[in-house]
Structure 1
Amino acid sequence: MLETLFGKCMMVFAMAMVPVVELRGAIPLGVSMGLPPLTVYILAVLGNVLPVPFIILLVRRVFDWLRRGRFWGPKIAAMERRAHLKGRLVRKYRLLGLIVLVAVPLPGTGAWTGALVAALFDIRLRSALPAILLGVAIAGGIMLAVSCGLLALWF
């Protein structure tokens, strides 16, 4: 199934939803599979943004539930500390900081981190979602330019 056009598109879309990898991994994957760059960009952006509303709306409840256990409690506390450290830019510049945090295509940034930071700083979904979408669109453009540029240099 992965050899069909539909299979390749689904792989890019699904890869973009995975935390840490996100569109930073999905776009080079799609380009390397020979998919049209615009198709790869759209699929990766949509896949990357899809989990964001769920993260913003549910992460605090999930964290509160997991914090009760001895195993997950310290891990949740450490994750929140890291999110607060990454969120210094967001705390200072609010939505512009959230856009920049998501737009920089480096490890530890992206839609998942942006959604977590937005939830921890109580940024409402209707404000956070457009900022994160814009950041993802910028990161996707950067990754597409890099991926297509490297592919052109390679061949």
Structure 2
Amino acid sequence: MSLEATVLDLLSSFPHWLATMVIGAMPIFELRGAIPIALGIYDMSPVSAFIFAVLGNMIPVVPLLLFLDPVSTYLRRFAIFDKFFSWLFGRTHRNHSERFEKYGTLALTLFVAVPLPVTGAWTGCAAAFVFGIKFRHAFPAILAGVLIAGIIVSSVTLGGIGLVDLFS
């Protein structure tokens, strides 16, 4: 059974709006998975699918932005985690700091907006943490990216559903 089928089976007793929010909050799916499921499987309206997927996708953002720093600070007391975070920060800064310094929160928005694997709100929160982007700047940047990604995913999904209907 695929991961998607397992998740849908686990959420089968949930109202569709709530299942859409839960899927949107999951780091593997986010709204990139929630919108197509809401539109294609739950037969929700595009507006409802968009709203519930965006809300779900944004639920983990606040705790992630607020608690990644204290959790990493605590974990750095242990040598293995200190080595990991030093490696992660060093690698990330070497590979991406020029873009983030040049474009700031716009880079964060665009990073989250690209509807590809590993570019959503969860990873955006990690990037904001690594680059020291404050909550007051990171939250609106991530929200804007999620909204843009939601528009893109909705448009592509609705186009795909329309194509399927043409050939049915």
Normalization by structure 2: what TM-score? 0.79
Letter paired with 1:31: L
| CA distance 1:72–1:20, shift in 2 (3 Å) | farther
Give the corresponding residue for 1:30: 38
Question: Cα offset for 1:57?
Answer: 1.3
> After the TM superposition, which parts of structure 1 deviate over 6 Å for at least 4 consecutive aligned residues?
none
The SS at the match of 1:123 is: coil
Is structure 2 residue 41 aligned with structure 1 residue 18?
Answer: no
| CA distance 1:36–1:110, shift in 2 (3 Å) | same
| CA distance 1:35–1:52, shift in 2 (3 Å) | same
Q: Distance in 2 between matches of 1:151 and 1:80?
A: 41
Give the corresponding residue for 1:93: 103
Q: Distance in 1 between matches of 2:71 and 2:121?
A: 18
Q: Distance in 1 between matches of 2:160 and 2:87?
A: 36
Give the corresponding residue for 1:121: 131
| CA distance 1:20–1:89, shift in 2 (3 Å) | farther
Give the corresponding residue for 2:159: 149
| CA distance 1:110–1:91, shift in 2 (3 Å) | farther
Q: Distance in 2 between matches of 1:16 and 1:75?
A: 28
CA contact (8 A) 1:66 1:76 kept: no
Structure label with greater radius of gyration: 2
The SS at the match of 2:15 is: helix
- Structure 1 gaps of 5+ residues are none
CA RMSD, 1 decimal: 2.3
Letter paired with 2:142: I
Letter paired with 1:148: L
- Report % sequence identity: 39
Give the corresponding residue for 2:3: none
Normalization by structure 1: what TM-score? 0.85
Q: State how 1:1-150 maps to structure 2 within 5 Å.
A: 7-32=15-40, 33-69=42-78, 76=85, 80=89, 84=93, 85=95, 88-150=98-160
Q: Alpha-carbon deviations, 1:35-69, whole Å to 9, x = none?
A: 11100101111111121121111102212333445
Question: Cα offset for 1:7?
Answer: 1.2
